Structure 1
Amino acid sequence: MTIRGCLRIIWLGAAAACTADPPPHQPPAAPSPASVRAQPAEFTAAVEPNADGSYGYVVKANGRPLILQPHVPGRPGTRGFATAAQAQQVAQLVESKLRRGQMPPSVTAAELDSLGL
């Protein structure tokens, strides 16, 4: 087939597409989940005992576990907090960071020092 023949086929196809009936009107699509503004989460923190006698915490968003932290964050090792009160302090810090929209709600060594841990 020659170039002229190929061009003629392309031209005929384009002409047929231009004269075809337009597609029927379709209703607008439902908004995607990403476009719908999410409801603000309600965060709660609770202290949980570890098997070794130390303490950790869990932070929930709308009743579903979001962060499960059985050991002291920002410190080497896997040992938990010595007391439930220490775990509660850090859990409340993480919870407040989440409420402010800070993501990830990392806990630094300096923050632990400021809490006296």
Structure 2
Amino acid sequence: MKRIVAVFILLGFFLSVGAQSNLFPSNMKSGNITYSIVPSINQTWGFQILVNQKPVIKQLSIPALQGNQGFKDTIAAGKVARLMIQKIRQGEMPPTVTIPEMKKIKAI
């Protein structure tokens, strides 16, 4: 019985991973990847990642931090957007950004 449950759990995991990979365009690495700065709550800033001028990621809060506060200025938001684009071009999708990475580029 435990083996049957384990098989269904693994099957569900692989199906969900396959479904998630379809959420993003297949030409992410080779497409024209840009970003735009967008306003967020409480006079803060976020960004959108666009592939071939179509939004694929909308980040209105600082990634890896609790809450929904955006970046204090457009410069910090742009630094993290460029870091995410770099990760997408390296094949990381969805791109993850850590607090140490954001501190290293002086975004937080």
TM, length-normalised to structure 2:
0.69
1:44 to 17, 27, 34: 34
| Pair 1:103-2:93 in alignment | yes
Aligned amino acid, residue 42 of structure 1: N
Structure 1, gaps ≥5 residues long: 1-37
Other structure's SS at 2:91 match: coil
1:10-37 deviation line (CA, Å, top 9, x unaligned): xxxxxxxxxxxxxxxxxxxxxxxxxxxx
Q: Percent identity?
A: 30
Structure 2, gaps ≥5 residues long: 1-25
Other structure's SS at 1:81 match: coil
Measured after TM superposition, the shift of residue 102 of structure 1 is 1.4
Aligned amino acid, residue 75 of structure 2: A
Measured after TM superposition, the shift of residue 84 of structure 1 is 0.5
- Where is the helix percentage greater, Structure 1 or Structure 2? 2
- Paired with 2:90 and 2:52, the residues of 1 have a C-alpha distance of 16
Residue 18 of structure 1 corresponds to none
Residue 65 of structure 2 corresponds to 75
Q: How many residue pairs align between the two structures?
A: 80
Q: With CA pairs under 8 Å and 6+ residues apart, which has the higher RCO, 1 or 2?
A: 2
TM, length-normalised to structure 1:
0.64
Select between 81-90 and 95-104 the one with higher mean Cα deviation: 95-104
Aligned amino acid, residue 90 of structure 2: R
Query: Over aligned residue pairs, what C-alpha RMSD do you find?
Result: 1.3
Name the larger-Rg structure. Answer: 1
